[in-house]
Amino acid sequence: LTEAEQRRALYAARRRFPWLMCNVVGGMIAALIADAYADVATLVLVTPFIALVTGMAEGVAIQSVSLALQTMHGRRPTWGALGRRVGREIFVGLLLGALCGLIVGVVALAWKGSASAGLSLFVGIAGGVAASAALGLALPFLLRMARRDPQVASGPIALAAADMVTLLLYFNLGRWLLL
């Protein structure tokens, strides 16, 4: 939004509100996912880490959105540039996720005494962060190609998508490794 548009509070709120509904819808879908995986989501080895797992993915998603917006500034997005950047961002996300997942997994192993919980956290964080990095980078490009404002829309969509993808991965791993 331009500076003049931001000064008009009602106009700014009207432009931003629809994109925030992505968080509402995403949060409701995340709640449905948690409900569908209640057998895993309520496990004492899983529940304490849900906020951490989604928070890691959200943090990387918003970093990737910010970086994409910076690199797109004044440039037209192309499919070739998107493909190259997403591939690199997946690799960066895997590195970041593996490092953070390793730390959390080791802490979970020491705290909860469960190698399966540690492995579930390691893989869940690594995969969730990699997917979120790719989503966060791709969304501004795709929104710009669709002639939408990526500065206002990318963040809410990326955060909602990061939560959904990460919860699905984390809960499926938990089901596979812990039940």
Model pTM score: 0.87
pLDDT tier at 6 (50, 70, 90 boundaries)?
low
CA dist 4 and 127 (Å) reads 41
- Cite the DSSP H helix spans in 37-114: 38-41, 50-72, 79-112
Count of positions (residues) in the chain: 179
- Grade residue 1 by pLDDT with cuts at 50, 70 and 90: very low
Give yes or no for residue 3 having a pLDDT over 60.
no
pLDDT at 5: 59
What's the mean per-residue pLDDT of the chain?
A: 91
Quick: pLDDT tens for 91-129: 999 999 999 999 999 999 999 999 999 999 999 999 999
Contact 135, 161 (CB under 8 A): yes
Burial class (CB in 10 A: 0-12, 13-18, 19+), 146: exposed
Torsion over CA of 49, 20, 146 and 134, rounded to 10 degrees? -10
In this predicted model, what pLDDT tens digit does every residue of 44-98 receive, in sequence order? 889 999 999 999 999 999 999 999 999 888 788 888 889 999 999 999 999 999 9
